[in-house]
Chains A and B, each alone.
Chain A
Amino acid sequence: MNNGPASYSEQVIEHVKNPRNIGELENPDGVGRVGNPVCGDVMELYIKVKDGIITDSSFKTFGCGAAIATSSMVTEMVKGKTIKEALEISNKAVADALGGLPPVKMHCSVLAEEALKKAIENYYERQGEKPPFETTPSSDEHHH
């Protein structure tokens, strides 16, 4: 196998080749969908939560290599974290965990952060609670 274009780090290429946690979770406790097909990126992030801790996470993504890699990475990063800790995962942290992203692809990491926040927001909604943070705009308002 080739290693792909040099503009992507080894970690990004690894996650594109072997994305982790693909697909929908059965009976998820939170789902976040961001982006839109016109922009070329749509991410759906799923979480399972038990006792305030995210026990599982998965994703579905329509997008470029960076979009796939950031989705895959954020599902890995979030598992085992409390909701509060998960909310502190920034887009930069996701990009850093992937060994960096080309500047033109940083928007993909923003999308991953937003998808996570949306999923947590949805979790609170399902619990009948108001999220303890400012809610994010509708996914269709995502912009590059």
Chain B
Amino acid sequence: MTKQTYLDNAATTPMDARVVDAMLPFLKESFGNPSSVHSAGQTVRAAVEKARAQVAALVGARPDEIFFTSGGTEADNWALKGTAWAKADKGRHLITSGIEHHAVMESAEYLEKHGFEVSYLPVDEYGRVDIESVAAAVTPGTILVSVMHANNEIGTIQPVAEIGRLLRNKDTIFHVDAVQTAGHLPVDVNEIGADLMSISGHKLYGPKGIGALYIRKGVRIASLLSGGSQERNKRPGTENVAGIIGFGAAAEIAMSEMTAETDRITALRDRLAKELLARIPDSTLNGHPTDRLANNVNISFRYVEGESLVLHLDFEGIFASTGSACSSSSLEPSHVLLACGRLAEDAHGSIRFSLGKFNNEEDIDRVIETLPGIVKKLRAMSPLAPGAAE
């Protein structure tokens, strides 16, 4: 069997074996419902609360400010819609950027259909929101500003702490989607000045189907679900206990290993980007050259289409991703790359390698050795490529 090199960690990470070990008892013998008053339930309740404290510590929050959800998408939906419904009497204007995750973008579009007004902040060529554009967009009726901590496609880190400072003392809720950063970058809700923050378990070597919304104490947001008193009446539904335990364990491991891991991954990232750009003509790095996630390399290769690249890498056992149209059920090129000013055909020809803690030098070598030949092969059959292109 072909050796497999997984470089799609921004999509999901493999679970850390220590996380699996922490979860197993709660899939087997400790099956009680944490809402039950008997000891079988209360043993599980204690474990859930320990995990809540672990997740809270990851983002500098108090445990009672962490509300578990089914993942980052639910947290993003809850942040936007919950704020809108809770504050509709104060104003009906929201601000977000043009490069948010679809969970934020589509929630904003949903609210527009329900009578809210949304301003979409522009970004520069590197995908950075200009702080002055935030200041210019805020009005007395602005109830929410939602800007992601780092972009999932191109890795650019946003000036969220500056935005937080700008919004301080204003009656505007600040939501930060930290799904790509929590566990990978130091994240502190107080330093950032976030009122709401979305995080997710499976992006930091934890399980899928579990995430959380940080809600600063005193911030009022409406619930999306009805039907129980779980999560202090804010998010009803029997807890995903094993998921929560795994999320907590993953958060604790991420905190303890973050510094060393970031240094190691950054070196791999930089070598991968440098070698690919040097070896493949007509290639351009997407995202900010330095203010970017330690694990993200996103490059546009002119004259070729992204899904074809991903397929050919797949044949070689290398798993990567693309923001291009044909990679998903959507046929539109990446809204993120278009917002950065990339041409549609270049946006179609983009590929994202997102590294993780199980990657090593050998994985990077394989991509460096394999990808130039694939690009050359696809350019040879591309009607857009000039004859001399390699």
- Chain A residues within 8 Å of B, Cβ to Cβ: 1-5, 13, 16-17, 19, 22-23, 33, 37-44, 59-68, 104-105, 107, 144
Contacts and interface: CB of A to CB of B under 8 A. Distances in A.
Contacts of A107: 331
Given A40-B305, A64-B307, A104 B331 contact: yes
16 contacts: A2-B314, A5-B314, A16-B311, A23-B380, A37-B344, A37-B348, A37-B384, A40-B324, A40-B333, A42-B382, A43-B383, A60-B381, A61-B382, A62-B385, A65-B326, A107-B331
Instruction: State the majority secondary structure of interface residues on B.
Output: loop
A3 B304 CA distance: 21
A88 B295 CA distance: 51
A95 to B, nearest CB: 16
Given A1-B2, A40-B325, A40-B348, A64 B308 contact: yes
A110 to B, nearest CB: 13
Given A2-B314, A5-B314, A144-B331, A62 B344 contact: no
A119 to B, nearest CB: 13
Given A40-B324, A42-B384, A17 B315 contact: yes
Can you list the 7 inter-chain pairs with the closest CB atoms, starting with the nearest? A64-B326, A37-B345, A64-B307, A60-B383, A40-B348, A38-B344, A44-B383
A63 B345 CA distance: 10
B41 interface: no
A124 B307 CA distance: 35
A33 B384 CA distance: 11
B305 A67 contact: yes
Contacts, number: 91
A28 to B, nearest CB: 13
A63 B305 CA distance: 5
Interface of B: 2, 303-305, 307-308, 311-312, 314-317, 324-327, 329, 331, 333, 343-345, 348, 380-385
Contacts of B326: 40, 63-67, 105
B2 A63 contact: no
A23 B381 contact: yes
Nearest to B333: A40
Contacts of A23: 380-381
A63 B308 contact: yes
A5 B324 CA distance: 17
A41 B307 CA distance: 11
A2 B2 contact: yes
A37 B305 CA distance: 9
A61 B305 CA distance: 10
A136 to B, nearest CB: 18
B383 A2 contact: no
Given A38-B344, A66-B326, A67-B305, A60 B382 contact: yes
B315 A62 contact: no
B304 A62 contact: yes
B384 A4 contact: no
A104 to B, nearest CB: 5
B23 to A, nearest CB: 28
A144 B331 CA distance: 8
A139 B325 CA distance: 19
Contacts of A65: 307-308, 311, 326
Nearest to A12: B311
Contacts of A5: 311, 314
A19 B324 contact: no
Contacts of B384: 37, 42, 62
B47 to A, nearest CB: 37
B311 A22 contact: no
A68 B308 CA distance: 8
A107 B383 CA distance: 19
A66 B307 CA distance: 9
